[in-house]
Each structure stands twice: as C-alpha cells, then as structure tokens.
A and B are shown apart, each in its own frame.
Chain A
C-alpha cells in the first residue's frame, strides 16, 4: 500500500523551449515534440499502459530530480561542458544559440514512484523557471503563458 499525502512534491528538471507556430512553449527534454500544456496539468501517458503511467517495473511517467544540482548535472552532460581547464565546471554551461533551455522546479502529484535521485509522476506543472540562453522577451512570454515566475540567467 502506498503512502498518502496532500502536499505536492517539488522536483527539478529541464525543458527545451521551442517555438510552436509563433509561441514559445516548454517541451519535454527527452521526448521530442512533447509540449507541456499551459494552465493545465501535464499528465503522464505511456504507449503501453495508456493512462496508467507511471507503472511499476516500467520507465514511463513524468521525470524529475530531487535537487536542482542533479538537474544542473544533466545540463552539463547534455552540453558536454563538464570541465574547464582541468577543474570541474560548477557554473551553468552555455547552451546553443537560439536553443534556450529552462531549468526549473516542478510540482508533482497523483501516483508517484520515488527513487533515490528523483521521481516518476502521474501529474505535473512547472513551479518556477530559470531560462538559459533565452532573452527577456521569451521569459515574459513564458511567464504569461504558464503563469509562473520565469527568471533569465
């Protein structure tokens, strides 16, 4: 039997920020062309289990890390910038021009499968975003669309 709580979990993750028509939207970092809806929850789906995601023993669900540091580590791996003159790169790495990325916290609820470094969740919505490689205009657009705080870094 699973534990029951009323307080959403706060995780950390990355999103691509891509144009859909003339609108910038958050897109899944690992699943291509999966756009996160604005002002409504994002619901996990699975080609095998349909609406049943996340499923025990499978890899479906909405992923998030426990900490910001783990999300930053993924960004360093993704950009390939992990070391600088022999020392470990601690800063946020630069991203490709015109390919902004959002690092942010995300509220998770519904059925959640918890591991030692993160979560697979049934429902999610962004909580706060830090835009990397974007500009004030994109940040303003995302702020208005998703109704969450967006900071340019």
Chain B
C-alpha cells in the first residue's frame, strides 16, 4: 500500500478513552428441553 514517502512521516499518539472495539458477542441461552405441561 503506497501511503507516501517515508521522509514525510511524523509520529502521533492516540490514547482513546475507550477503545473503538465492540464488546463480546452475546452468549445465546441454551435451548432447554421442552417441559411437559
């Protein structure tokens, strides 16, 4: 990926208050055995 020449490079530091990553997938409740009425 050509993002430009290295000579133009400068460094920045990003420290987000919260990382932009979604939380874990919800755990699906196991489907129980049907209970006879």
Interface residues, chain A, with chain B CB atoms under 8 Å away = 2-9, 13, 29-30, 39-41, 56-57, 63-65, 74, 107-120, 123, 125, 127, 144, 146-148
- Given A109-B16, A112-B14; 10 other pairs, CB 8 A cutoff: A4-B14, A39-B21, A40-B21, A57-B6, A63-B3, A107-B20, A112-B11, A115-B4, A115-B5, A125-B21
Interface of B is mostly: loop
Q: Which residue of A lies closest to B10 (CB)?
A: A114
Interface size counted on chain B using CB atoms at 8 A: 23
Beta-carbon contact of A118 and B1 below 8 Å: yes
Q: B-side interface residues toward A, CB under 8 Å?
A: 1-6, 8-17, 19-25
**CB within 8 Å for A109 and B15 given contacts A39-B25, A116-B8:** yes
State A93–B5 Cα separation when bound (angstroms).
27
CB distance from B17 to the nearest CB of A (A): 6
CA of A16 to CA of B26 in the docked complex: distance in angstroms? 26
In contact, B19 and A109 (Cβ under 8 angstroms): yes
B9 to chain A, nearest CB (A): 5
Contact among A30, A114, A125, A146 for B1, CB-based, below 8 A:
A30
Is A2 a contact partner of B13 (Cβ separation < 8 A)? Answer: yes
Contact residues in B for A118 (Cβ distance below 8 Å): 1, 3-4
The 6 closest A-B pairs by CB, nearest first: A118-B3, A115-B4, A147-B22, A109-B14, A2-B11, A107-B20
